[in-house]
A and B are shown apart, each in its own frame.
Chain A
Amino acid sequence: MLNIALIGNPNTGKTSLFNNLTGTYQYVGNWSGVTVEKKVGIIKNKKGNLIDLPGVYSLSPLSKDEAVVSNFFVTESFDGIINIVDASQIERNLLLTLQLLEFEKPVIIGMNMTDVAKRRGITINEQKLSEKLGVPVVPVIARSGKGTATINDLLTDDLKVDASFTLNYGPIIEESIDQIIDLLPANLSIPKRWTSIQLLEGNAEVKKYIESLVAGAGIDSIIQATNEQIADETAATNTSKWIYSVRKAFIEELIQTSVVTEESENKSLTDKIDKIATHPFLGIPIFLATMFLMFKLTFDWLGIPLSDILDGFISGSLTTWITNGLNTVGASDFIKAVVLDGIVAGVGGVLVFVPQIFILFLLISFLEDSGYMARAALVMDRTMEMVGLNGKAFIPMIIGFGCNVPGVMAARTIETPRERMLTILLTPLMSCSARLPVYALFVGAFFAKYQALVVFSLYVLGIVVALTLAKIFSSTILKGEFSMFVVELPPYRMPQGKALLRSTWDKGKGFIKKAGTFIFGGSVLIWLLSYSGPAGFDVPMDDSFLAMIGNVLAPILAPLGFGTWQAGASLITGFLAKEVVVSAMNIIYHVPNADSLQGLLSNEFSALSAFSFMVFVLLYVPCLATVATIRKEAGSAKWTWFSVGYALVIAYVLSLVIYQGGKLLGY
């Protein structure tokens, strides 16, 4: 079995190529940092595994997702590399290629985006390039899959190792390389020359690894001496600059012989769109309008009509079929109650919202694929800087609108640890799709005329709270001076239908899976707790265990406007997944469909307390899956507890202010 690593600059189409080579569907987008963790798939020709790694500009890491790649090189064994190169940015892409060639493993170069390059007047002679570098260069179109067959054919059992590539870095560096090689352990699993060069360049991950193997300051002193010598005797001020300039000079020569560049001054579509999207004054309003349009589509225009149809089906035909089926097989009353009152009410009550959630995912995927995300980061940077974050932190937050889990993961692309931690802590305040069913239920009952507006206000509230807390945290517990923001703005691309549907399904299937696991389990549990009590089974709901649990919370929640045991019990179970709040209500109020539940709720809640409840659900605590992800990403139990604790406090205080304030104003 071969293990092939797929490596390239960010946003060059690695994941698209990965999907085409393996036939699996990974998540693709049009911004730097879509892939933050390595992913493994089986190559179509069954010869081995393909490993998709986060995009990097160099093997020396600056951020967490880049460290994943350096760490992979140092600690894992693999047989070859597919290096995907963006033809339109060939110079800087080749900087990485040189470092890969030095690793002495077979390399195949996939030359992507030759069409974009052609439009810019750049033509690449793959044959020449291949001769010069000594490795195969295959033109590919990663999005459509053209050229992948050729790569597939090259991936045979006997990948030719051509370790002949060496770049001479000049007498000073070459001497230091030889000295370091002598000090490295004899049985080192990674190439010694490569290791020495990386050490001289200042690769922190490689240094960490070597230090774990050899003690002593020998290597360190060589590195330092080289640095001084370079500064004294050459035009460069330090070793890494010198190495950079040697590589750059080599690439320039390479390009002169194998790339033809013509001047082309035509304004691309990207420039035209950017005139508007990053317009000095229209930029932010356009961003907000885009978001609002998204919610208009999700709710008023498309989502609600579709979910009404689904609701009719589940509470009508489907329930009748299941009842008939259970009657035919002679199920006991207990089983019938579990299935109809527990599972159908609980799971069905959430599945009704599938259309809305898929539409939201589709729209988010569209934004991701188009290239707008990086522009949103740019437009928001000034605002984010004022609260101690940077514009890049906005991308995890928008992703968090879909689901907080990938949102928290996406924070890996943020370079500074302090800003990354802040983003991890605050992304759960973004209103994810799992909270949508709760809003949909309540706005339908209380704010029928202004559904999109009310829901939009909750999303905005989430952002405002996050930004306010960012300011507070960054000036108290997460203080730090340094902040950086450099973002690549990729050319706009029209998202392809197929890719869009794939990534929508990719995100949405998680929701359906959740319906089959957490929500299913939660529903059965809630139903059981509501069916049993101290007095035995089949007790009146008010005497059930569920009511007892809810009653503990009710007095605490009373000042917020929803001091009923039903609200308390559904909020507790909502920790499993926020949709479970709706499942719980369906079971507790024991109603056949969403319409009648909405009717019932209007007796229990007022418009004001409903809003207060929605605010509480928005903020109160990240769901179980998100908490687990925060624990993993933040790597600290303390911060995980903090994220749960502060959210509870904020939710309580804000709901209190809204409810009590609203009452004073006479609502």
Chain B
Amino acid sequence: MLLTQLNKGERATIIDLSLVNESVRRRLLDLGISEGSQVCLQCKLPFKGPCMVENCGQSLGIRLQDASYIKVEKTC
């Protein structure tokens, strides 16, 4: 499934980042987010605004479009 398909507060493991834009992926790697990272979708802003994702206690904001290229697997 995709990161954007998660509900608010749900946790998941990232399984594929290869579809994400090169620069965005570089930045995500910089922030310690790669395949295998645990993330939690904290919130989505309205009108297709960016979403807030948490990883290891660090929150970050990314655009909905970029998030929709990130494949994840839900963890319970």
Query: Which residues of A pack against B, CB within 8 Å?
Result: 57-58, 60, 62, 88-89, 91-92, 95, 120, 237, 244-245, 248, 270-271, 274, 278, 280-281, 283, 374, 377-379, 381-382, 385, 391, 415-416, 482, 484-489
Distance (whole angstroms) from the CB of A466 to the closest CB of chain B: 20
Give the contacting residue for A391; candidates B26, B27, B50, B57; CB below 8 A.
B50
Residues of A within 8 A of B48 (CB): 382
Pick the residue among A95, A280, A381, A488 that contacts B58 (CB under 8 A). Answer: A488
Known: A62-B26, A484-B24, A486-B62. A91 touches B32 (CB 8 A): yes
List residues of chain B with CB within 8 A of the CB of A245.
Answer: 34
Using C-beta atoms within 8 Å of the partner chain, give the interface range for chain B.
20 to 34
- Interface contact A244-B61, CB-CB below 8 Å: no
Q: A-B pairs with CB below 8 Å: how many?
A: 100
Residue B61 contacts which of A88, A89, A270, A487 (CB distance < 8 angstroms)? Answer: A487
A244 to B25, CA, bound (A): 12
Q: Are B32 and A489 in contact (CB under 8 A)?
A: no
- Quick check: B63 and A244 within 8 Å, CB to CB? no
Contacts of B1 in A (CB 8 A): none
B47: chain A residues within 8 A (beta carbon)? 382
**Cβ contacts under 8 Å, B74 to chain A:** none
Residues of B within 8 A of A91 (CB): 32, 56
Residues of B45-75 at the interface with A, using a CB-CB cut-off of 8 Å, are 45-50, 52, 56-63, 66
Interface centre among B24, B31, B47 (most CB of A within 10 A): B31
Alpha-carbon distance A374/B52, docked complex (angstroms): 12
Contact status B45-A379, CB under 8 Å: yes
| Chain B residues in the interface with A (C-beta under 8 A) | 18, 21, 23-24, 26-32, 34, 42-50, 52, 56-63, 66
Q: List 12 additional A-B contacts (Cβ < 8 Å) besides A62-B23, A274-B42.
A: A62-B27, A92-B30, A95-B30, A271-B42, A381-B50, A382-B50, A484-B21, A484-B23, A486-B27, A486-B31, A488-B58, A489-B61
A482 / chain B contacts, CB cutoff of 8 Å: 21, 23
B57: chain A residues at CB < 8 Å are: 88-89, 120
With A391-B61, A489-B60: A278-B43 Cβ-Cβ less than 8 Å = yes
- B-chain residues with CB within 8 Å of residue A485 when the two chains form the complex: 50, 61-63, 66
Most buried by B among A60, A374, A486: A486
- Asked if residues A57 and B61 are in contact (CB atoms below 8 Å), the reply is no
Query: Could you tell me the distance in whole angstroms from the C-beta of A507 to the nearest C-beta in chain B?
Result: 27
Shortest B1–chain A CB gap in Å is 21
Q: How far is the CA of A356 from the CA of B76 in the complex (A)?
A: 53
How distant is B29 from chain A, measured CB to nearest CB, in Å? Answer: 6
- Closest Cβ of chain B to A257, distance in Å, is 18
**B49 CB, nearest partner CB in chain A, Å:** 4
CA A283 to CA B43, docked complex, whole Å: 12
Bound-complex Cα distance A385 to B47 (A): 12
Q: How far is the CA of A283 from the CA of B50 in the complex (A)?
A: 12
Tell which of A92, A270, A381 touches B49, judged by Cβ atoms closer than 8 Å: A381
**Are B28 and A486 neighbours in the complex by a CB distance under 8 Å?**
yes
Q: Are B34 and A381 in contact (CB under 8 A)?
A: no
Query: For the complex, what is the distance from the CA of A95 to the CA of B30, rounded to whole Å?
Result: 8
